[in-house]
Amino acid sequence: MNINSFFEEKLIYPLFDNKKEVLFQAFFYIDHYNARLFDITPARLSGPGEIKSCITEIKKRRPDSIVFLRHGTGGQETIKKNIDMTPSNRALGLIDEKKSAFDSGLIIAKELKSIGIDIIISDFLGININKENPIIGVRSFSDDPNKVSEFAKEYKKGIEKGGLKLVACGFPGKGALSYYHKDKITTYKRDLDSMYMDELIPYVNIIKEHMEMIELSDLYYFLESNTVHEPATLSSSVIDYLRKPLSYSGKIISFPIYNENFSSYEGLNLLRRCIEAGCDIVYLPGNLKKNIEILDNIKVLFSTGRFQFQVDFNKLKTDSTTNEESLYYIKKKNSHLLEKIEDSIALRLESKDFETLSDVIEPFVVVPKQSDDKEEKENYFFKSIKYYKRKSKMIEYSYKNSEEWFEKTIKKLKDKEVIIISEGVYSNKHLQDLFLKIIKNASSAHVIGVSVEYEEDIFSEDTPYFCIGTSLESTFKRVVKEIFKNRY
C-alpha cells in the first residue's frame, strides 16, 4: 500500500468547529493528504441547511468524498431542526411492530442523505441488561437480545433502503454499565464469554445479515477472567474475538479517540496501536494541527520504507532506545524530506495566517523566569519568533530550580531545536551546567545573551552566540532573522 492509498482508505478525518473552520480543515486534508473519509459529528453546525452547504463544498473539492455522522446525542440529535423526528428505539420496541424499526431507519436515512451524509454510525444493537441503564437509555430496542436482533435487522434494512450505509458501534456492548467516566477509561466488568449469552447475540445475528462496518467501544473489557489491559479499540484480543468466534469479515473501525478519556494515549502511538490491534479504518485522534504532525511523521516513515499498514513498530527500536526516540532518529536522519513537506505546507497556509511545524523543527525557547516589571521584555522574545511564523514552546528557568527539574528539562530538550535566552550565567555554575547539557543534547542550539558581555567564552565555538544590548526589540528581531535566515 502506498502513502496516498493509506491516507485515502485507512483514515477518518474529524472536522471540528464552525462552517468556515470545517471547510478549511477538509480542503487542507484533501489537498495535502488525499483525504476521502470525513466525520462531521464533532462540527458545530447550526442545522441541516448549514450541514448540506458544508458537505456540498467538500464534495465539490473531492466528488468521491464520504461523510460520516453519528446518530445519537453526540451527532444527529444536536441538529435539532426538522430532523430525527422519529420515536426513540425504546419507543419502537414497546410498539412491538418490527416494521416501525424499518420505517424509522428509512426516514432517518432519507433525511440524512438529502443533506449529503453517506454513512450513519448508530448504537442500535445495545441491550438494557441493567434496567436502569443511563448509558444506553432509549437507544436500546429492548432488554431481550432476540427482540433487539429482529428490530436491528429491520432498522438496518430501512437505513440501506434510504440510501445510506450503516456502522454498528459499541462492540462488544455496554448494556450492564451504570456509569461512564468522561475523564478516564471506564472498565466494563463482564468477560466476553459471558456476554455471548446476551449482549453479543445481536452482533452475531447482524453479522449474518452482511454487516459491512462495526465500530469498537472505548471501554476496557474482561477476557477469560483476565482484564484486557487496553480499551477495546486498542485490543487485539477483542478484535480477534470479533473475527474468529463471531466470524466477522467486514471493516473494523476504531473508536473516535480524540476525547479526554484517552489522554494516556496520543499522537502517532495511538494511531499505530489501533492499526496493530487489527482496525481496518482509524480515526485521526486530534485537531488539525495535531493531525498534521502525525500525518507528516507517517510521510517520513513511508519515505524511508519504515511504515507499512500492518507495521510492527517494535522494529523501530534500536539497542537501547524507545520507539519515540527511534522516530526522532529517523526524522533527524531524513530531515530534508520533512523540511520539504513542511515548507510546502507553510507556503500554502501563509495566506490564512495558520502555521504548523512538527517537533523535529519546532524550537523550544529557554528563558529566564521574569518578574512583573520585565514582562514586556519577555514579549519581545516570542513576538520576534512568531514574526517569522515559527511555532515555539517556552521553558522558564531560574537558579532556584531543583536538580530534578534540571534533569527533566535536559531530557525534554533532547534532539530538539533550542534557543537559550541568557541574562548572565558567568558566575552561576548551576545554570552554566544546565545550558551546556542542553546544548550537548539538542539537535541544534543558539544562545542569545541579553545585556551580557564575555559570556560567549563559556560556550563551545560551535555554539552560535549572539549578544544584544540596549535596543532589545529591534536587535532581537535582527538576531532571530539571522538564526532563521536559511528557513525563510
User: For residues 234 and 202, what is the distance between their CA atoms, to the nearest angstrom?
Assistant: 22
Q: Which of 150-164, 220-234, 468-482 has the lowest mean pLDDT?
A: 468-482
- CA–CA separation, 317 and 228 (whole Å): 25
Amino acid at position 482, single letter: E
Q: What pLDDT is stored for residue 140 in this prediction?
A: 81
Q: Is pLDDT of 132 > 70? A: no
Residue 161 pLDDT grade (very low, low, confident, very high; cuts 50, 70, 90): very high
CA distances (Å), origin 410, targets 138, 366, 462: 53, 11, 19
d(CA 342, CA 296): 8
pLDDT surpasses 90 at 387: no
Identify the H or E element spanning 168: strand 165-171
Q: CA 316 to CA 206: how far, in whole Å?
A: 39
Beta strand 363-368 pairing with 417-422:
parallel
Look up cell 537558579; give the residue: 399
Which pLDDT tens digit goes with each residue over 350-375? 434 333 333 334 677 777 776 655 44
CB atoms within 10 A of CB 269: 14
pTM above 0.75, yes or no: no
SS3 450: strand
CA pseudo-torsion sign 23, 28, 29, 35: positive
Q: Which residue has the cell 516589571?
A: 373
The β-bridge relationship of strands 220-223 and 226-231 is: antiparallel
Whole-number pLDDT of residue 393 = 75
What one-letter code names the amino acid at 151?
F
| pLDDT confidence tier of residue 116, bands split at 50, 70 and 90 | very high
Is residue 138 within 8 Å of 153, Cβ to Cβ?
no
Q: How many contiguous H segments (helices) and E segments (strands) does the chain have?
A: 17, 16
pLDDT of residue 184: 64
Catalogue all structural domains in the chain, each as residue range(s) with its CATH number.
Answer: 3-286 (3.20.20.300), 362-483 (3.40.50.1700)
Q: Which three cell numbers stand for residue 277?
A: 490491534
Rounded percentage of the chain residues whose pLDDT exceeds 90: 24
- Runs of H (alpha helix) within 78-210: 89-95, 98-114, 145-161, 192-195, 201-208
DSSP-derived letter for residue 118 is -
Asked whether the CA dihedral 160, 162, 164, 168 is positive or negative, the reply is negative
Binning pLDDT at 50, 70 and 90, where does residue 61 land? Answer: very high
Dist. CA 361–CA 355, nearest whole Å? 13
394 vs 362, which has greater pLDDT? Answer: 394
pLDDT value of residue 391: 58
Which has the minimum average pLDDT: 126-140, 344-358, 437-451?
344-358
Q: 23-32, 245-254, 299-308, 357-366: which range is least confident on average?
A: 357-366
- Residue 134 CB contacts under 8 Å (≥ 6 apart), including other chains: 178, 179
